[in-house]
Amino acid sequence: MKRIKTDVLVIGAGSGGLSVAAGASQMGADVVLLEGHEMGGDCLNFGCVPSKALIATGKAAYGQKNSEQFGVSNAAGVTDYAAAKDHVADVVATIAPMDSQERFEGFGITVIREYGSFISATEVQAGDTIIQARRIVISTGSSPLVPPIPGLENVPYETNETLFELREAPEHLLVIGGGPIGMEMAQAHIRMGCKVTVIEGAKALGKDDPELAEVVLTSLKDEGVEIAEDALAAEIRGQAGAIEVETKDGRIFKGSHLLMAVGRRANVDKLNLEAAGIEPTRTGIKVDDGLRTTNKRVYAIGDVAGGLQFTHVAGYHAGVIIRSMLFGLPSKAKTAHIPWATYTDPELSQVGLTEAQAKEEHGDAVEVVRFHFNHNDRAIAERKTKGFIKVMVVKGRPVGVSIVGYQAGELINLWALALANKMKMSQIAAMVAPYPTIGEINKRAAGAYFSPRLFESDMVKRVVGFVQRFIP
């Protein structure tokens, strides 16, 4: 058995782990990085990157079928499913070198391609190597949650870890789960010519503002996606090419392929947390505000920390713990400024409090301002007028923003900046946006906050009247 000592041991080479390893190494720490599966983790290989690449294929097909509105004859938009998967693989391969073992070894990091398991509070075994570390970071991410639905064990199904390897287009894709992953893949496949049924046990896109979610769901239904809500799967039966899902209320849905998209579970099974005195939770690993576990030498970041499950959160967590781990400075993880987006068409994005949350927390102090995409000149030119923005404002500061519409995932960036830095609506209004851009929507939303104060105020009108009459 080989033994090595290091300053920092990182378990998991996904977004968060790679950020910690690179940052710590380049600032002078001795770093060992463990990865038993794919460098780059779920995001690069099975999640964010391949899903967005497949969504791009769906958009291209949809654009061909709906080009007449721009004066271009509609085309068939026929998708070669295998070629689409080649496109996905090429996108992943193009990005992969940034997350590669060779690149991180170039930083001076020792990379060991084995899973890690704790054998003490300061030691982890990986294959035939035992690593003793002053600080340890768990960034093992999450995997698809596959619930124990009767019959599922006898029926072939896909998850996000297998879907992108599928080479033949599903004739009729059944999707169990109406969250972001399920809805994104449903729309991508309907646009590529498949039939699609989404089966959701509660409400589709149920974690988002229902008013905005309805805009997305209506769009998907208009494109042909069947969405069954309050449809809790009770039994699954059949075989490849002929699968049935029966729900608790007796409804039966038939399709050729099944995608399980009901959520994620933290990857903690291989870690032997008990040996290190680390307390698990139902959703991952127990951490304090600084992302330390119950073993103060060990941090947990990203999905495994049991909070928001987004790649950018793992990257943010990496920055939080580097400050503490390398410099001994106080550093806490916050969530109020963390944005997220669902990449359907139209897109759906959120940062801070929803309208319901803001009213619950701040009561009558909340003002909700809106601006609709159909009043934005660029959106009109692009035929992308579906959607709107809602900004929840308390005493002149935004506390939450919800956007549904074209490029909502891009538009939310400005509001994430505003919430992170406690900016005022006046600062957003002072921004000059180039015309015509979709980004003007943000400025116009700020304008909608000030308009009644300027144009409906008797005091303002009296002041203007006084200036016009008495000041030369």
> For 104, how many CA atoms within 13 A lie in the half-sphere containing its CB?
30
Task: Find out whether 200 is annotated in a ligand binding site.
Answer: yes
Q: Which of 85, 82, 14, 76 is nearest to 56 (CA)?
A: 85
Element (H, E) at 443: helix 440-455
Chain segment 250-289, per-residue pLDDT in tens: 999 999 999 999 999 999 999 999 999 999 999 999 999 9
pLDDT of 423 strictly over 80: yes
Do residues 257 and 265 lie in contact, with contact meaning Cβ atoms separated by under 8 Å? no
Q: What is the pLDDT of residue 462?
A: 73
H or E segment to which residue 135 belongs: strand 129-138
pLDDT score for 468: 77
pLDDT surpasses 90 at 464: no
The residues, any chain, with a CB within 8 Å of residue 92's CB and separated by 6 or more, are 44, 45, 49, 50, 53
Cα–Cα distances in angstroms (integers) from residue 343 to residues 186, 347, 389, in the given order: 11, 5, 16
Continuous segment of H or E residues that includes residue 3: strand 2-11
17 marked as binding residue: no
Helix, strand or coil, per DSSP, at residue 196? strand
- Measured between alpha carbons, how far is residue 251 from residues 156, 233, 257 in Å? 21, 9, 18
Residue 108 marked in a binding site: no
The reported pLDDT for the residue numbered 454 is: 59
Per-residue pLDDT at 463 exceeds 80: no
Flag whether 40 is marked binding.
Answer: no
Establish whether the linkage from the previous residue to 436 is cis, with ω within 30° of 0.
yes
- Average pLDDT over the chain reads 95
Q: What is the dihedral of CA 311, 316, 318, 322, to 10 degrees?
A: 170
- pLDDT score at 432: 95
Sign of CA dihedral 450, 456, 458, 464: positive
Tally Cβ neighbours within 10 Å of residue 50: 22
Domains of the chain: 2-39+100-143+265-327 (3.50.50.60), 152-262 (3.50.50.60), 339-455 (3.30.390.30)
The reply, when asked if residue 208 is annotated as ligand binding, is: no
Percent of the chain past pLDDT 90, that is, above it, reads: 93
d(CA 112, CA 65): 48
The arithmetic mean of pLDDT across residues 419-441, rounded, is 96
Q: Is the pLDDT of residue 461 over 90?
A: no
Contact 349, 408 (CB under 8 A): yes
Question: pLDDT digit string (tens) for 180-236?
Answer: 999 999 999 999 999 999 999 999 999 999 999 999 999 999 999 999 999 999 999
| pLDDT class of 456 with cuts at 50, 70, 90 | low
The annotation status of 184 as a binding-site residue, yes or no, is: yes
User: What is residue 129's three-state secondary structure?
Assistant: strand
Sheet holding 226-228, edge to edge: 226-228, 195-199, 172-176, 257-260
247 annotated as belonging to a binding site for a ligand: no
Q: Is 178 annotated as a binding residue?
A: yes
pLDDT digit string (tens) for 106-151?
Answer: 999 999 999 999 999 999 999 999 999 999 999 999 999 999 999 9
* 370 strand-pairing partners: 390
Give dist(CA 138, CA 136) in Å, integer: 7
Looking at residue 181, what DSSP letter applies?
H
**Model confidence over 64-96: pLDDT tens digits?**
999 999 999 999 999 999 999 999 999 999 999
For the cut 90, the answer to whether the pLDDT of residue 301 exceeds it is yes
d(CA 303, CA 139): 8
Q: How far apart are CA 77 and CA 57, in angstroms?
A: 10
Residues 321 and 301: beta-carbon distance below 8 Å: yes
pLDDT at 453 over 80: no
Per-residue confidence band for 390, with pLDDT thresholds at 50, 70 and 90: very high
Does the annotation place 183 within a ligand binding site? yes
Q: Do the annotations mark residue 182 as ligand-binding?
A: yes
Mean pLDDT over 165-171 rounds to 97
Burial class (CB in 10 A: 0-12, 13-18, 19+), 8: buried
Query: Which residues neighbour 241 within 8 Å (Cβ) at sequence distance 6 or greater?
Result: 171, 256
Question: Which helix (H) or strand (E) is 228 found in, with range?
Answer: strand 226-228
The reply, when asked if residue 180 is annotated as ligand binding, is yes
**C-beta separation of 407 from 434 below 8 A:** no
116 is in an annotated binding site: yes
CA distances from 219 to 178, 222, 386, 412 (A): 14, 5, 9, 21
Strands 110-112 and 31-34: parallel
Task: Show the tokens assigned to 247.
Answer: 């729900």
Estimate to the nearest angstrom the gap between the alpha carbon of 83 and the chain centroid: 26
**Beta partners for 470?**
none
Instruction: Determine the number of helices (DSSP H) and then strands (DSSP E) in the chain.
Output: 14, 21
Q: Give the C-alpha distances (Å, rounded to integers) separating 319 from 10, 331, 453.
A: 14, 9, 40
Cβ count within 10 A of residue 348 = 26
Give the predicted TM-score (pTM) of the model: 0.94
| Short-list 208, 204, 200, 175, CA closest to 189 | 175
244 pLDDT tier (thresholds 50, 70, 90) = very high
* 8 Å CB contact between 316 and 155: no
